[in-house]
Amino acid sequence: MNAPSDIIKVLASTPDATMGYRAYTLGSFNFRRDEYFAHITWTTRDGRPLSHTLDIGNFLRALMRDVAWGFFYGWVNFDNVIGTVNHYQSVDLYAGSYNGTMKAAGVDLLENFPTDQIRATFEQMLDDWTNETFDPFSAPQETGTAYGRKNGNNNAKITRARELATRCVGLKGDLDLRTDARGAPVNRAFADVPQDMPELHPEPGFENEVHAFNLFAFLSRSQVTWNPSFTSVVKYSFMCPTTEEHILPIIHGNDRVEWFFQMCDEIHWDCADKNTGKPLARVIMKAGDMAAMPAYCRHQGYSPKRSMLLVWENGSPTLVHEILKGETPEVPVQF
């Protein structure tokens, strides 16, 4: 059972007298923000002080995903230096450990934390560092600035519940459809997406089995970007469609194969070795394209306009261990 995050000890400073933000300590890592940047400092394995700086908007967008996704599948690289690895009961926090140059230079650091501890720290940091003007889940054109001194908070936007169907969207007792009334109007980029519903003609007694819904309409009403939902489930096969705009705020490192099916418009992907960051491939996906991301890669996508991406995941809890033991290959098929 997870302990409530509010009883986990989070090491936070008093608010900075000028900037108004708290600084945080997690193990040997220190985090602070100013008007433009997040600053992370640590002591390298050979005892030298080192620091890393990220644009605060980019940092908060990445932090938002890491928190909301429960550290996700595998690696959540905030950039090519900082990130987390999910071990599903604990989480690694690292600096430079998956950067070939920093690793070779011995200036990296990786520490492991109980999931509850790092989650509580990240949640409080996200809450304190996100001003009322900024929504880290929104596309850049749909939110205000992340910059500046402490200016309120945006609790409602950083605590959205992840939308996870257990069987299928729209079934009785399952994840609801998105509607105007539920605060999900059609996004400006999808004004041309038909909102009609499938024709359903159930015989009496089969109303919850003869079921279909308009997936494209559902996606057109997404209020966030780069945030997969579960819309249909077959055993551990999860359809995780999402709407994408601008840049995926993290570089996702796979601990399993995942597939992308581009349902409209296009996304450009940079793929690299997940351990070193060495570039592997550039993938341009247009509507109707399908691509596999092997378990040995990391990837970051660029969506020039809002697009619909079907992320397809195998959520089997044994899959990671099967790959680590060599029982399951890192690639989806061999031919």
Among 3, 105, 212, 284, binds other proteins (CB under 8 A): 212
How many Å apart are CA 61 and CA 35, to the nearest integer?
16
Nearest approach in angstroms of CB 295 to other proteins is: 10
d(Cα 215, Cα 243) in Å, to the nearest integer?
12
**Which is closer to other proteins, CB of 121 or CB of 232?**
232
Sequence-distant (6+) residues with CB within 8 A of 326 are none
CA-based torsion, 254, 269, 66, 53: positive or negative: positive
**175 binds other proteins, rule: CB under 8 A:** no
Q: Does 164 bind other proteins (CB under 8 A)?
A: no
> Which of the ranges 51-59, 69-77, 111-119, 209-217 carries the binding residues for other proteins, by CB under 8 A?
209-217
Q: How far is the CB of 210 from other proteins (least distance, A)?
A: 4
Half-sphere exposure of 247 (CA within 13 A, CB side): 13
Residue with token string 């966030």: 224
Q: Give the C-alpha separation, 15 to 326, whole Å.
A: 49
Q: Which of 47, 173, 288, 317 binds other proteins (CB under 8 A)?
A: 288
232 part of the interface to other proteins, by CB under 8 A: yes
Say how many residues touch other proteins, by CB under 8 A: 50
CB of 182 to other proteins, least distance (A): 19
Q: Which is nearer to other proteins, 154 or 243 (CB)?
A: 243
Place of tokens 């793929």: 271
Cα 37 to Cα 204: distance, rounded to the nearest angstrom: 60
Determine the interface stretch with other proteins among 19-27, 98-106, 113-121, 254-262 (rule: CB under 8 A): 254-262
Can you tell me which of 152, 192, 196, 278 binds other proteins, judged by CB under 8 A?
196
Q: What is the number of residues in the chain? A: 335
- Is residue 333 at the binding interface for other proteins, with CB under 8 A as the rule? yes
Q: Give one DSSP letter per residue of 96-164, joined into a string.
A: STT-HHHHHHT--EEEEEEHHHHHHHHHHHHHHH--TT--TTS-GGGS----SS-----HHHHSPPP-B
Residue with tokens 């020039």: 304
The Cα-based distances of 256 to 29, 92, 246, 276, 302 in angstroms read 28, 17, 25, 17, 22
Q: Is 234 in the site for other proteins (CB under 8 A)?
A: yes
* Beta-carbon contacts of residue 335 (< 8 Å; ≥ 6 apart): none
Query: Considering the rule CB under 8 A, would residue 215 count as an interface residue with other proteins?
Result: yes
In the complex, the smallest distance separating the C-beta of residue 261 from other proteins, rounded to whole angstroms, is 7
* Cβ at position 280, least distance to other proteins in Å: 9
Contact between 259 and other proteins by CB under 8 A: the answer reads yes
Q: Based on the shown chain and the rule CB under 8 A, indicate whether residue 328 belongs to the binding site for other proteins.
A: yes
Among 8, 12, 50, 168, binds other proteins (CB under 8 A): 168
- Residue 335 C-beta: closest distance to other proteins, Å: 4
225-257 b/e (C-beta count within 10 Å ≥ 16 → b): bbbbbbbbbeeeebbbbbbbbbbbbbbbbbbbb
Which residue of 10, 50, 164, 171 would you call a contact of other proteins, by CB under 8 A? 171
Q: Is residue 15 at the binding interface for other proteins, with CB under 8 A as the rule?
A: no
Binding site for other proteins (CB under 8 A): 167-168, 171, 193-194, 196-203, 206, 209-217, 231-237, 239, 256-259, 261, 263, 281, 288, 290, 292, 312-314, 316, 319, 328, 332-333, 335
